[in-house]
Structure 1
Amino acid sequence: MVVAQDVWAGSLRRLQKARIRQMDFTQLVVEVWRPPTGSVYKLNFDATVFDGNRSSEVGVIVRNSLGEVMADLSAQGPAVANSEEAEALACRKAVEFAMDAGFMDLVIKGDNAVVMKAISSPQLDRSRLGHIYDDIRTLATGFRSCTIGCVKRSANSVAHSLAHFASHLEDELVGMVRMELLAEVLEVVTWSQLGIHDKPIKQLHDSN
């Protein structure tokens, strides 16, 4: 079975950049997705915001210790004021999605450091988004175990691409994602970014 360690981040890579005029090479380590341990599942989520109408999109993917995709979500979200609000709302939707799907032991990862720090803080948040963070913390108590943390974008690229993919959907796309479908998602998003097509995409439900 193909292991989904991260479709677009790939396995651990080192990028070497040559300096001009016989200067040394600089090596940059790219953080990649790492599987959870034991019977715990890892949930990655992300949000995107489009400047035109400030609409947001959400991407969520849940994987097991083998890197196998257990569940995924691409959905359109509400208009937001900024990326922090989009990420906070995306996290709440991701937690609700995981709870509805029946996952009980989770590691939750997002790539917005401000949002993840606010969610992890035990202190009462009196900011404009404080009620959303409080909702997330309250929902998280419904899991048997739940750990929340922040990752770099390179280790969150599948969720990021699923969020981008949501802008092409007429309905939410929820279900079990095969590796072949994830590759198709990236291809469709790339076509849109290159201007090859701008048609909406509709989910076809397979009874099998």
Structure 2
Amino acid sequence: MSDWVMSDELSITQQPNESLYKINFDGAIFEDQACAGLDVVIRDSAGLIIGALSQKIKLPSSLVMVEVLAASQAISFVREISILRVVVEGNSLQVIKAINNTKSSKTSYGHIIDEIKLLSSSLPCCSFVHVRHEGNKLAHVLVRRAILFADIDVWLEDLPRDLDDVFQFDLL
């Protein structure tokens, strides 16, 4: 398997060690439907799917807000299924920087950033890293399902069959 994308600048480092899980989140806006999609993909150190979530929500005020809500959903989801040692990846540099900033965010979504920081601080090991769009491919494809299906879909240890090709490509 190739290296996992996990860096703020270079976008390439090594895959996490066996005790860490990789979490990818993404968000997308569907203006014509007046909604947005949130997505979370959880993988183990071998790259196998532990869980995934796709959710349709009312259209927030901005794309950044969608990404913040996706990051929040990622932390909530990992806590719900008791995964405690994580590397959380997202392709919104603005969101990752806000989460990693030690100061409180003064933005319209600052309260959500603060909640993410609080929830993630209860995990024994949690870090947030920026990944380029190419390193977040499965999450990006999965979020597109939100507009087509139920308000929220959750998969454990599996993905919908129509995503097999994207998943297999990611494993290569």
Task: Calculate the TM-score normalised by the size of structure 1.
Answer: 0.70
Q: How does 1:146-165 map to 2 (within 5 A)?
A: 146-165=126-145
1:92 aligns with 2:91: no
Distance 1:176-1:140 versus aligned 2 partners, 3 A rule? same
3-state DSSP of counterpart to 2:32: coil
8 Å CA contact retained: 1:74, 1:173: yes
CA RMSD of aligned residues (A): 2.6
Structure 2 counterpart of 1:75: 55
Structure 2 counterpart of 1:103: 83
Structure 1 counterpart of 2:44: 64
Question: Which residue identity lines up with residue 153 of structure 2 in the other structure?
Answer: L
Task: Calculate the TM-score normalised by the size of structure 2.
Answer: 0.84
8 Å CA contact retained: 2:36, 2:56: yes
User: Unpaired runs of 5+ in structure 1?
Assistant: 7-30, 187-208
Distance 1:167-1:179 versus aligned 2 partners, 3 A rule? closer
1:176 aligns with 2:151: no
8 Å CA contact retained: 2:72, 2:116: yes
Q: Which structure is higher in helix share?
A: 2
Following the alignment from structure 1 to structure 2, what is the Cα–Cα distance between the partners of residues 46 and 134? Answer: 19
Following the alignment from structure 1 to structure 2, what is the Cα–Cα distance between the partners of residues 4 and 172? Answer: 31
User: Unpaired runs of 5+ in structure 2?
Assistant: 5-10, 167-172
CA-CA distance at 1:34 after TM superposition: 6.0
Following the alignment from structure 2 to structure 1, what is the Cα–Cα distance between the partners of residues 162 and 20? Answer: 22
Q: How many equivalent pairs are there?
A: 162
Distance 1:151-1:99 versus aligned 2 partners, 3 A rule? same
3-state DSSP of counterpart to 1:114: helix
From the CA coordinates, give the structure whose radius of gyration is larger: 1
Identity %: 25
Structure 1 counterpart of 2:7: none
